[in-house]
Amino acid sequence: MDVTDTTRSAIVTGGASGIGAAVAQGLREAGVRVHTFDVSGRGEAAQVDVTSEEACRRAVARHEPIDILVNSAGVAGVNAPSWKLPDGEFERVIAVNLVGTYYMCRAVIPGMVARGWGRIVNIASIAGKEGNPNASAYSASKAGVIGLTKSLAKEVADAGVLVNCVTPAVIETPMLGQVSEEHLKYMLSKIPMGRVGQPEEVAALVCWLASDECSFSTGAVFDISGGRATY
């Protein structure tokens, strides 16, 4: 698939592992110049904390122009009933998953609009559609990502900038280590295909959404959940 020409440049947040790393690899194989951001700073990723708007702005400015943004940075948060979450936990998860996505979009969109071309793909979650029990912060943050995606897409629909999101179910990434065994069993029980997804499967969809081939889809929510929620 011809994602784009070799002059295009992408940022992938959360790019040191999991879905982000798989997306970065897929884009590179398609000839895109990829910059990965990750709070860990592991590997080739620049150490960027997406909960800081100033950090996002500075990091984007170092690599402009940016044609493609994939927001994959995220945390699962503590698995517990809403009223039993540790103080500040809800806010922490929202800050990374939702506010960080907003900060990154805010940093790249003006340049994309000025050049008349851009692709933004936000990694949401099936939890944002259905709400997983004992994961209120994560579910709320990902529902917010879906709403943010739809709103941004309409704001730039006539500017050549397409904004979409994907809603994975359980994907085999290091994030699974942040959830309890009980919660993992619950999530797997909801998947008709009866298995976890692979990062490369998500990356294939994301790379298409970041391509010239994706030309008439914006503000859309693309299911990739093994059949759990095909709406």
Q: Which residues are catalytic?
A: 138
Contact 156, 109 (CB under 8 A): yes
- One-letter amino acid of 9: S
Angle at CA 136, nearest 5°, toward 132 and 140? 95
CA dist., res. 52 & res. 229, Å (int): 33
Q: Is the dihedral of CA 204, 206, 208, 210 positive or negative?
A: negative
Contact 207, 1 (CB under 8 A): yes
Residue 37 parent element (H or E): strand 33-38
